[in-house]
Amino acid sequence: MDAKTFHFSALYRGDEHQAAYARHQHYLFSKLNLRPGMRVLEVGCGRGTAAVELATFANVSVVGIDGDASLIEYASRCAQMAGVSTRTSFVIGSMASLMHQFATGSFDAIYSIESLKESSTFQEIYGQVGSLLKNGGTCWTPTMNPLDISHIRLAEFLEDQTGVGRRNITQRALEEVTKTIRESERLELVYVEDLACRRSTLPWYLPLDHAISDPRSRWATDPRSYGAFGNLTRNGAIALSQAGHLKVCLCQQYMSARMETH
């Protein structure tokens, strides 16, 4: 695991971050119902860590897309070193450009790990995902009161500190995601789970608490730089930790949907 691919994972006593991260990825991959020869898209692939792991883990072809050209170049080198370059490809692009870069029905499965949060609405996200999936294809993406003014202010503060972009607080609720998929004409909801609610011996925000209290911790200086927790600044970490302690921020929502067949 490297700083630019950090994401929160369920923690158990004695866990190292790398082991928790790998277990989390493989659990998510298992929900894609992959078969040999399938074509898979990762939206927001970053340095390609997950895409390379999936290509190694399963006999599938993986396409990664990200808006940062330097990360795409790094991902291609990683795939070459891992010996999976013939089954992986990485391209520069964004959520807004997906339909221009790929044909309708191009993929058997689509996934994203902590990248869809930057889209303005779930309708934007799943509208494009539904078009890119083949019939029968699968996609997944990893307690808040939207009427509470303090929760609204906290959400806005988190958006500012973590650089995830602005979105109405109701558009960040798990219920809104499920509602969007259920109302979609192209997608069928097949599985939903909030991974922050899975039983584990340690809270997801514990690594943040430890790092905040350790003066040796490396933090990003702004949302475009990187530290030990990806592009999370120290102020952003404090905000996330406080939200976790208050149970108003559950960070690991996971959902699976598939293209409806008629």
- Tell me, what's the pLDDT at 200? 61
Residue type for position 105? G
Q: Per residue, what are the HEC states of 45-87? A: CCCCHHHHHHHHHCCCEEEEEECCHHHHHHHHHHHHHHCCHHH
Quick one: pLDDT band at residue 123, thresholds 50, 70, 90?
low
DSSP H or E run through 99:
helix 98-101
Asked whether the CA dihedral 215, 219, 222, 225 is positive or negative, the reply is positive
At 51, give phi and psi (nearest 5°).
-65, -45
- pLDDT tens digits along 150-173: 667 767 766 776 666 666 666 666
Task: Read off the pLDDT of each residue in 21-48 and give the average, rounded to a whole number.
Answer: 84
Amino acid at 115: S
43: β partners: 65
What is the average pLDDT across 88-104? Answer: 89
Q: What is the pLDDT of residue 52?
A: 92
Can you tell me the distance from the alpha carbon of 149 to that of 246, in angstroms, rounded to the nearest whole number? Answer: 15
pLDDT, position 195: 66
Please say if the pLDDT value at position 205 is more than 60: yes
**Residue 178's CB: how many other CB atoms inside 10 A?**
16
Name the DSSP letter for residue 229: T
Q: What is the mean pLDDT of residues 86-114?
A: 89
How many helices and strands, by DSSP H and E, does the chain display? Answer: 9, 7
Count of beta carbons in the 10 Å neighbourhood of residue 185: 7
| Nearest by Cα to 146 from 120, 172, 178 | 172
**Range name among 46-50, 173-177, 194-198, 237-241 with the lowest pLDDT average:** 194-198
Q: How confident is the model at residue 76 (pLDDT cuts 50, 70, 90)?
A: very high
Instruction: Give the list of residues 6+ apart from residue 89 with CB closer than 8 angstroms, or none.
Output: 61, 62, 63, 64
pLDDT reported for residue 64: 96
